[in-house]
């Protein structure tokens, strides 16, 4: 069962600036991006050729998180904020391959994601997917959305994922407030997974990456490990705690094959007591 967020033909595609989701799509070899996005991606690759390694590691982290929550923690309903442009396997495809009755609510503010939302809604008959067009900076709109309330049971554990998203909120207080507001509505036994951008491992190069993003109209805020840990305050971190994303429950085949300097993201999962 699935629902869509609105008719594709009415979508304003918002091409007046580069957008992180479309830069990501270009780097991963997708087709849903514009000249501004390609320019931002190529300019970033000029100063940081490892961008493609980093973004592929981020997608691999998302898949491992999804499998871990569904297979190891028994979570059957998920809220994925910052969905991105559909690239198979999508989050719901991963969890529904493990538990076909899983329910997934996707949230994104990129109009191109909305235009392709139907690709996110190919749920199994036993499960359900739905899509909310919303900005994470307005958490009240997300947690009160009919699509969410009609899909997820807020009395049962939920897996909340914010993968490579909080760096688009540059003000620290706002970023922590947004995350805390959404975590607060989750019932006990829920899990929160996040990937938080950092320049801890190559600050000089990544300072130039930030300049490129800003010059193309996109936000980017690096955070230290201590600042990343603050997003998980009050929660119980799962092993191995907060680590670079390629080191979180890594595929044994990949261990030792990625240079730490090529990864600009911390990742973790934590349980809500």
Q: Are 267 and 248 in contact (CB under 8 A)?
A: yes
DSSP string, 208-273: HHHHHHHHTT-------HHHHHHTTTTSEEPTT-SEEGGGSS--TTTTT-S-GGG--EEEEEEE--
Helix%, strand%, coil% for the chain, nearest 5: 40, 15, 45
**Rounded mean pLDDT for each run of 10 residues along the chain, 273 residues in total:** 42 58 75 80 89 92 97 98 85 97 94 78 93 95 97 98 96 98 98 98 96 90 98 98 97 79 97 98
> Domain locations in the chain?
8-248+259-271
Confirm if 273 and 235 have CB atoms less than 8 A apart. yes
The candidate with the shortest Cα–Cα distance to 54, out of 239, 245, 202, 268, is 245
Q: Which pair of tokens denotes residue 227?
A: 């600042």
269 close to 65: Cβ distance less than 8 angstroms = yes
- Tokens read off for 110: 């990129």
Counting other chains too, the contacts that 200-208 makes at CB distance below 8 Å and 24 or more residues apart are: 200/224, 200/225, 201/244, 201/260, 201/261, 201/263, 201/264, 202/48, 202/261, 202/264, 205/47, 205/48, 205/261, 206/48, 206/264, 208/47, 208/48
CATH homologous superfamily for 8-248+259-271?
Answer: Vaccinia Virus protein VP39 (3.40.50.150)
Q: Which residues lie below 8 Å from residue 230, measured CB to CB, with a gap of 6+?
A: 176
Distances (CA, A) of 128 to 2, 22, 262: 6, 26, 36
DSSP label of 189: T
What is the reported pLDDT for 15? 58
191-197 and 265-271 beta bridge pairing: antiparallel
- Tokens 């979180």 sit at which residue? 248
What pLDDT is stored for residue 162 in this prediction? 98
What's the pLDDT score for residue 16?
Answer: 65
pLDDT for the residue numbered 114: 83
The per-residue pLDDT for 12 is 41
pTM of the model: 0.89
Judge contact between 157 and 116, C-beta under 8 A.
no
């Amino acid at each position: 069962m699935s629902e869509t967020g609105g008719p594709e033909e009415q979508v304003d595609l918002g091409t007046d600036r580069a957008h992180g989701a479309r830069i990501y799509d270009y780097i991963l070899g997708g087709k849903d991006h514009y000249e501004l996005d390609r320019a931002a991606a190529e300019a970033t690759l000029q100063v940081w050729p490892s961008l493609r390694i980093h973004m592929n590691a981020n997608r691999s982290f998302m898949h491992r998180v999804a499998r871990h929550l569904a297979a190891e923690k028994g979570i059957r309903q998920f809220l994925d904020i910052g969905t991105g442009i559909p690239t198979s396997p999508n989050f719901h495809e991963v969890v529904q391959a493990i538990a076909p009755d899983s329910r997934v609510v996707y949230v994104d503010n990129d109009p191109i994601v909305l235009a392709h939302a139907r690709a996110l809604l190919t749920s199994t008959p036993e499960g359900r997917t739905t899509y909310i067009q919303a900005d994470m900076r307005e958490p009240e709109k997300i947690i009160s959305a009919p699509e969410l309330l009609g899909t997820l049971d807020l009395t049962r554990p939920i897996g909340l994922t914010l993968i490579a998203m909080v760096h688009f909120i540059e003000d620290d207080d706002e970023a922590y407030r947004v995350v805390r507001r959404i975590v607060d509505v989750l019932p006990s036994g829920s899990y929160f997974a996040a990937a938080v951008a950092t320049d801890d491992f190559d600050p000089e190069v990544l300072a130039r990456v930030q300049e490129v993003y800003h010059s193309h109209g996109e936000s980017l805020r690096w955070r230290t490990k201590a600042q990343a840990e603050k997003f998980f305050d009050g929660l119980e971190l799962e092993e191995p705690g907060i680590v670079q994303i390629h080191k979180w429950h890594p595929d044994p085949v990949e261990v030792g094959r990625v240079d730490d300097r090529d990864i600009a993201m911390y990742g973790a999962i934590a349980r809500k007591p």
